[in-house]
Amino acid sequence: MKIGVLALQGAFIEHEAMLRRLGVEVVEVRLPQDLDDVNGVIIPGGESTTIGKLAVRYNLMEPLRELARSGKPLWGTCAGMIFMAKAVEGEGRDQPLLGLMDVRVQRNAFGRQVDSFEANLNIKGVDGDKPFHAIFIRAPLIESVGAGVDVLARVEKDNQDVIVAARQGNLLATSFHPELSYDDRFHRYFLKMAESET
């Protein structure tokens, strides 16, 4: 099993550390050839506009789309979720998007850095009886989903339950940062997706 982690900007080292603890071979993806022979790719949190612009500069946009079309899983966390979305609220910014996942995302939906928070979530499909302790940092949320998108988790915001994790076939997205938790269950969930494609 070999998992690529997009290593252009953001929290890629934390994902790598979690994967290595699980005994997985990790490849830092910076150029198209780094995608050769990977079983899946994680797109980390960071700054979504910067990640998108660097992906354009290093000719990674179409190779990442092709990887997803081939059935291999892609998982975007926080900024990675924004980068994978088909639509983002406030698209006036120069924001390159992969446009893969049929979701509409609202960036920084929970406020600024000082508004970061943690919450215990029940996540559909994730093993275990205890809730997943999720860490939200300048987090986006999913405003709406298209047909074929399975909502995996919600959190309360302004007295409403909003979507913070979803899956569409081989595409996975989370508003929060599982790589910052000691809980490896979400990474194990992604690895099961990758195993099903090998």
Query: Which of 14, 15, 179, 187 is flagged as catalytic?
Result: 179
CA distances from 137 to 32, 40, 58, 107, 111 (A): 29, 24, 27, 11, 9
Active site residue 78: yes
**pLDDT at residue 108, as a whole number:** 80
| Segment 103-143, tens digit of pLDDT | 999 988 777 766 688 999 999 988 777 899 999 988 899 99
CA distances from 146 to 6, 87, 157, 166, 178 (A): 26, 11, 21, 11, 24
**170 versus 198: which is more confidently predicted?**
170
**Six-digit token string for 147:** 């047909």
**pLDDT at residue 128, as a whole number:** 74
Q: b/e for 19-44, b at 16 or more Cβ within 10 A? A: beeeebebbebbebebbeebbbbbbb
Count of domains observed in the chain: 1
Query: Facing residues of 105 across strands?
Result: 88, 142
**pLDDT at residue 103, as a whole number:** 97
**126 versus 22: which is more confidently predicted?**
22
Active site residue 179: yes
Query: Which of 14, 15, 16, 177 is flagged as catalytic?
Result: 177
CATH of the domain at 90: 3.40.50.880
Give, as one character, the DSSP assignment of residue 92: T
**pLDDT at residue 197, as a whole number:** 65
Note down the domain range covering 187.
2-195
| Segment 80-103, tens digit of pLDDT | 999 999 999 865 567 899 999 999
| Segment 168-192, tens digit of pLDDT | 999 999 999 999 988 999 999 999 9
**Six-digit token string for 145:** 């989903």
Model confidence at 77: pLDDT above 80: yes
**pLDDT at residue 116, as a whole number:** 80
The stretches of the chain forming alpha helices (DSSP H) are: 12-21, 48-57, 61-69, 79-84, 185-195
**pLDDT at residue 91, as a whole number:** 54
Active site residue 28: no
CA distance 7 to 133: 25
